[in-house]
A and B are shown apart, each in its own frame.
Chain A
């Protein structure tokens, strides 16, 4: 105790302000107040958190600032939307760069939010008191995707129009089941979801108005509020997760003052994030295709890339791919902290060596399983090609998505029995589903062409 205090005093003399002043700096400032006055050394390790949460915050900040500028010039009417985006690109000083930054920061946010999820899961950060914060995090992930999706429509070009058309059809996936049961005319939850989303049977002015309102008010406000709760929970939980202190490692309990250590780190992350986004924005223009034309569908019409995994599943079966699997997946994500309560694993990447092995095997076998099913499907067709008269119910229940999901659940149950650890089971299921999601998304992005046929590259697509 004495040694530590001396060390701190020595630090003070070199770094400037004294101990009380440092705490006051944090506590007096409204914006800095979300930080704890002191942070644990373990939390400052770059290779533990990678600063992903903070990067998300800064990306969101970029989005808010550039978004406000765009909103000043943008006109959310079907007739004017496209023209106003063109004016932003051509006439507004710096408009092209601002739009590019907004676009790429938004895409970046989707990527980073997934990485953040992966980091938090594999370090077991949902354990202990953090289960509620995990749930809030998953909700924030969903809102981020919705936010991005609602912004996708606003330029009102062909890319936007057909992507959202596809997205709205995914929302209507429940129709496949109700059609099969023959009750669609009486009970049509799919149609309800679609109408709720786009305000009609086809994308038009109602959809644009809805998406605009969601995109600029409702969703950002939700993110802001939930992020506040998210950060507040972190403070309440004693900072971000870390392994339980061991008696032998004394440095394991060391804390640094947030001012100035964390401040410098955050500044570096802010500068880095802005620089990277600006760099991409200078090099690559955000896409802007022809004005939306409802009579000429893009072929292939693809939803935004982060939904292409789902679109790939929907191409097997609308109900199971567009509703059943996503709902199961979300249920799994939400339930993780309530099923797995093995708090001893908190803050340790993969919960140690055994976890690395389990995750590795899970990832490898998923790769093998999903790719072999895709190979069979693309090369030899699926049930519908083999038995043309088969009921849609069979296709709905037996396709690469449902088969994989069933096998994943089976595998995680097996792991739970073998290791008698829920953490290992969760690790298995999370790894399997995430790798599968990556594969399906990659296939949707790069290997699907006109009519959703398989192509090795877009260069081989037939000329339209």
Chain B
């Protein structure tokens, strides 16, 4: 080949190359110059404006500004160019026009001027982008972590600034909440479903699940979609997770949330709104800002229960069946629990949790729940409608005047046999509980004392309250007891206000604590320092019981001559009573278990026979509450255990062992005491309140 042929061939190549290059450059020029979507939109908008204009406000489309428009938002660390295409956003004439020219609906722009807020802070999407696909950022190939949000999930954006979880329901602080109805519904559901029982948000809540304070800031890349069907969006992940947490996140212990689809949407919207975005603080509502600082309205008892407890213990306190769930949850809303568990028991459990169980501690340092709030929840759990003692008294006295008699075969007698004899013995002669059919007692105990005790029970002892009985039944019981030993003499009340309680304290410790326990929790004698008892008993009753003693019991009269014993005069007794009243009102360090004369070895046999089926060999409880955990044993007095065994727990599988119901054998008082002794023997430490 010679030079000329070579050159000729190469020249053809050069020609082809330059033609191709010219073509490509032309293509590039058209693509980048004329073909950009935003330019087409601006031309279209110009035509729309020209077509829409009436004679007065005619706008010359040629005079309209063209080019890339942007809102620079240094305080939000973003640049929004959405207005380049959405030029009609603030033009009232564009109401109802086709996108991208339509006016922004609603009054949002009045409160959130676009110059100051931009668009993406609420809508999501990529503000810098200038074509629809990238600006919406919803497709995976756009690689944008904050895709544009659709209804209803866009309402989650309101939450970023306006959400206050605890400080009321008025997010904007001006009485308007239009446009965020779904979000607010989600907030209600968030409380109603008890999410904060396991999760934390803004420093409040449980520690079983992850902290949700910034959950809404997570992008979809931070979720695993391995087990999620459908589109890969955060909202879809959340909804799938609510429906079946363990399927979506293997290993999750979260409970399923059974809600209709629209409520799942609302809940997902709310969770996506949980955020603390890095924007200047003056964009947050004061309520939200206060919550970040830890200032919030206190929770009431019922709302506290719903928010913190209901996810596990049930909205009505019915618990979760131990047979259905791997970790059953005790029922706390039923009558038997309310009348057997003392406030101290509930409060202690809230404070300490149960170390071997899911129940965590709700101490303020851990949960952010204040003491008054825990008190409120405790009161809410313990709350029950009780007949007024005064009313009962009047009714009883009225019935006396009416001359109705209460003897053999009366409703009182039958009721006593059914309800009381298991502890107090037949005809009240005494059993594992104190004898009632006893002159010394009935003479001194006033009607009010007896009725009060029946209605309220006796804290931390095996005597529960019976507020659910009919008024006639309660007065019938009193009538029955009065039929044994007649009416007490009427006595003037005493006044012990000037008593020397320091001296009384010494006397109590030297003389009374031997039988009644160092803290009056009961040893061989009954529990006498507790609010229930001291409210029921007036000073005269106490004085006379101390000075005269109780016949046929170890309690002798301290004002009488007893061999080798000190004699107490009226001032001494007044001091002791004063001390008892003062001490009962003070908070205590431990919950003292009180007396129990049972035999743990015999109890072990009985436990194996009757209890292991549900409570497990060592009380670890596969299908019933665990009994061997130290928090329970520290919270529960022997009386609590005794009462629970005796009465069972209505609405759960715990049967009533004191009276029997046909399906279970009846355990004698001694057997039940043995069981209590055996259960108590598991206690290794005593936890301070």
Interface residues of A (CB under 8 A from B): 7, 11, 14-15, 44, 83, 86-87, 90-91, 93-94, 96-97, 157-158, 256, 260-261, 264-265, 267-268, 271-272, 274-275, 278-279, 282, 288-291, 293, 296, 462-464
Contact = CB atoms under 8 A, between A and B. Distances in A.
Nearest to B10: A264
A278 B4 contact: no
Nearest to B129: A90
A44 B6 contact: yes
Contacts of B405: none
A96 B32 contact: yes
A303 B274 CA distance: 36
Nearest to B12: A268
A275 B128 contact: no
B11 interface: yes
Nearest to A267: B14
B27 A256 contact: no
Given A271-B14, A282-B27, A290-B144, A91 B6 contact: no
Interface of B: 2-4, 6-7, 10-11, 13-14, 17-18, 20-21, 24-25, 27-28, 31-33, 68, 79, 81, 126, 128-130, 134, 143-145, 219, 221-222, 224-226
Given A90-B81, A279-B20, A296-B222, 14 more contacts: A11-B2, A83-B128, A86-B126, A96-B32, A264-B7, A267-B10, A267-B14, A271-B18, A272-B17, A282-B28, A282-B31, A290-B144, A293-B221, A464-B224
Contacts of B32: 93-94, 96-97
Contacts of A274: 21
Contacts of A157: 143
B68 A271 contact: no
Given A97-B28, A267-B14, A11 B224 contact: no
Contacts of A271: 13-14, 17-18, 20-21
B125 to A, nearest CB: 13
A87 B219 CA distance: 22
B115 to A, nearest CB: 20
Contacts of B28: 94, 97, 278, 282
Contacts of B68: 91
Contact of B20 (A44, A275, A293): A275
15 contacts: A15-B4, A44-B6, A83-B128, A87-B128, A90-B81, A90-B130, A94-B28, A96-B32, A264-B10, A265-B10, A271-B14, A282-B31, A288-B143, A289-B143, A290-B145
B4 A268 contact: no
B143 A290 contact: yes
B601 to A, nearest CB: 51
A261 B3 contact: yes
Query: Which of B11, B21, B219, B224: most chain A Cβ within 10 A?
Result: B21
Query: Which of B17, B126, B225: most chain A Cβ within 10 A?
Result: B17
Nearest to B33: A93
A225 to B, nearest CB: 30
A15 B3 contact: yes
Nearest to A94: B32
Nearest to A11: B3
A11 B4 contact: yes
Given A90-B130, A288-B143, A261 B7 contact: yes
Given A11-B3, A289-B143, A268 B17 contact: yes
Nearest to A95: B32
A268 to B, nearest CB: 4
Query: Which of B10, B24, B28, B224: most chain A Cβ within 10 A?
Result: B10
Contacts of A289: 143
A462 B145 contact: no
A87 B13 CA distance: 37
Nearest to B1: A41
Given A272-B17, A275-B21, A279-B24, A91 B3 contact: no
Given A87-B128, A278-B21, A462 B226 contact: yes
B17 A256 contact: no
Query: Which of A11, A91, A96, A462: most chain B Cβ within 10 A?
Result: A91
Contacts of A464: 221, 224-226
Nearest to A7: B2
Contacts of A7: 2
Query: Which of A90, A275, A282, A293: most chain B Cβ within 10 A?
Result: A90
A362 B486 CA distance: 119
Contacts of A267: 10, 14
B226 A463 contact: yes
Nearest to B21: A275
A96 B134 CA distance: 13
Given A288-B143, A462-B226, A261 B18 contact: no
Nearest to B144: A290
A77 to B, nearest CB: 13
B68 to A, nearest CB: 6
B27 A268 contact: no
Given A90-B130, A264-B11, A282-B24, A14 B225 contact: no
Contacts of A11: 2-4
Contacts of A291: 145
Given A94-B32, A464-B226, A275 B144 contact: no
Nearest to A270: B17
B9 to A, nearest CB: 9
A99 B121 CA distance: 29
A256 B14 contact: no
A296 B221 contact: yes
A296 B223 CA distance: 11
Nearest to B222: A296
A15 B20 contact: no
A290 to B, nearest CB: 5
Contacts of A158: 143
A288 B68 CA distance: 22
Contacts of A279: 20, 24
Contacts of B130: 90-91
Contact of A290 (B81, B221, B224): B221
Contacts of A87: 128
Contacts of A288: 143
B225 to A, nearest CB: 5
B673 to A, nearest CB: 58
Contacts of B10: 261, 264-265, 267-268
B25 to A, nearest CB: 7
Contacts of B224: 463-464
A279 B24 CA distance: 7
A14 B4 contact: yes
Contacts of B27: 282
Nearest to B17: A271
B143 A275 contact: no
Nearest to A271: B17
A87 B224 CA distance: 31
Given A278-B24, A282-B27, A296-B222, A90 B128 contact: yes
A94 B145 CA distance: 26
Contacts of A256: 3, 6
B31 A15 contact: no
Nearest to A260: B7
A279 B11 CA distance: 21
Contacts of B11: 264
A42 B254 CA distance: 77
B134 A90 contact: yes
A291 B79 CA distance: 15
Contacts of B18: 271
A86 B14 CA distance: 36
A269 to B, nearest CB: 9
Contacts of A278: 21, 24-25, 28
A463 B229 CA distance: 11
Q: Closest 9 A-B residue pairs measured CB to CB?
A: A271-B17, A268-B13, A264-B10, A289-B143, A275-B20, A275-B21, A268-B14, A278-B24, A86-B128
A462 B227 CA distance: 10
Contacts of B20: 271, 275, 279
Contacts of A94: 28, 32
A48 to B, nearest CB: 13
